[in-house]
Amino acid sequence: MERKALAPMAPIQYEVEMGADQPILLKLHSPTPDDPEILEVLRLAAASCSSEWAELAITSEEYGVPQSYLFGTRDGDGTVVTLEIGDDFSASIRFSAETPPGLDILRILGSSLERILVCEHLRAQATILRGALDGTSNSILIFDERGDIVFANPPADRLLSLQTEDDLLAECGGEPRQPLFTLLASLMEKIGSPSGGNPPFNGILNLADGRIMKCEVTPIRQPDGGGPDMVLVFLQFVGSESKARIDAFSSSYGLSPREHEVVLLLLQGLTTTAMADQMGISPHTIRDHIKHLYRKTETRSRSELLGLISRSRRATDSVKNKLKR
């Protein structure tokens, strides 16, 4: 028996408002052709009008290239229904049945497609943000209202694994040293509930091993009560007391920037030639800088100079206060 192709009916225009007023971190795009959620929507749409197959084409206005999805095996031209989903996507569905689903079914279909596309977009954004947070060398943690950690990137994980070690003791503002994460918990208590309007904390933590860490504790408010409030903690190593002592040493003896640079290289154990190569000047000029260092510090050799630097503790507090400001 000869199968007669179904004449397409006039397209039905149906608009669904789509998208939220939020920053877009990634261009909108359609899911892959084997997306199980879209294929399930097509299966239900086909069943609603006793259609043997259903084919969906979604076009992103950003890219202009349609993405096709097929439930069943297409046979013939079928009947097409056009859906306009907001300003970012358009969609058309083709059924084998001569009569497409009613408007109520189309409304549910449009709403389902809207949710799938938005969720796909948010998943893609979350993947990009997670990759960015995991890729940074700084430690980033997110705490919930109860103080439980709900997110920690790899550097933060490493800090967590050391939280029982003595060298992870920290102090802030002259208070006694305590475990780093105990200190963070007290800082979160100081800023109070994220909905309380208290300002975030931005300061310097001093670890027992001599490292200096910048710390930001920021409340994250969920708009319109859309979820639990969170607290973001950002930790960044910005130096160490040993570096502060070198800065203090240079300041105390009135060293020039070039002489300060030579001191840093001397501490690395570099030879005169190696220092000259790194600084882009001649070995003769390096020797002159070292002679000036001897004269200013009243030392006579590299070993005396390095010994003087190692004993220096001056101006460490002033460097810390500068970082706090």
How confident is the model at residue 8, as a pLDDT?
A: 37
Give the CATH fold of the 139-240 domain. Beta-Lactamase (3.30.450)
Cβ atoms of residues 305 and 294 within 8 Å: yes
Q: Tens digit of pLDDT for each residue in 65-91?
A: 889 999 999 988 889 998 877 778 889
- How confident is the prediction for the chain on average, in pLDDT? 80
pLDDT band at 312 (very low <50, low <70, confident <90, very high): low
Does residue 237 sit in helix, strand or coil?
strand
DSSP string computed for 178-220: EEHHHHHHHHHHHH--GGGTPPPEEEEEEETTSEEEEEEEEEE
Q: Which of 175-189, 240-254, 308-322 has the highest mean pLDDT?
A: 175-189
Q: What is the mean pLDDT of residues 31-53?
A: 93
Q: Please, where are the H alpha helices in the chain? A: 36-48, 103-135, 154-161, 180-191, 241-252, 257-267, 272-279, 283-297, 302-311, 316-324
CATH numeric code, 243-324: 1.10.10.10
Class of domain 15-133: alpha beta
Comparing 151-160, 229-238, 260-269, 296-305, the range with the smallest average pLDDT is 260-269
Asked if 194 contacts 221 with a C-beta cutoff of 8 angstroms, the reply is yes
d(CA 34, CA 211): 51
Q: Could you give the residue range(s) of every CATH 1.10.10.10 domain in the chain?
A: 243-324
- What number is the average pLDDT over the span 16-45? 74
Q: How far apart are CA 31 and CA 6, in angstroms?
A: 29
CB-CB contact of 128 with 25 (8 Å): yes
Please report which confidence band the pLDDT of residue 241 belongs to, taking 50, 70 and 90 as the band edges: low
Q: Which of 24-28, 47-51, 172-176, 178-182 comes out lowest in average pLDDT?
A: 24-28
d(CA 177, CA 175): 6
- Phi-psi map region of 147: left, alpha, beta (phi>0 left; psi -120 to 50 alpha): left
User: Which residues lie closer than 8 Å to 63 by C-beta, 6 or more apart?
Assistant: 27, 29
pLDDT tier for residue 4 given thresholds of 50, 70 and 90: very low
Instruction: Name the nearest CA neighbour of 143 among 215, 225, 219, 236.
Output: 219
Q: Which H, E and C letters describe 31-70, residue by residue?
A: CCCCCHHHHHHHHHHHHHCCCCCEEEEEEECCCCCEEEEE
Confidence of residue 323 (pLDDT cuts 50, 70, 90): very low
Give the pLDDT band (50/70/90) at residue 36. Answer: very high
* Residue ranges of the chain that CATH labels 3.30.450: 15-133, 139-240
β-bridge mates for residue 202, sequence order = 216
> Rounded to a whole number, what is the distance in angstroms from the first to the last CA of the chain?
87
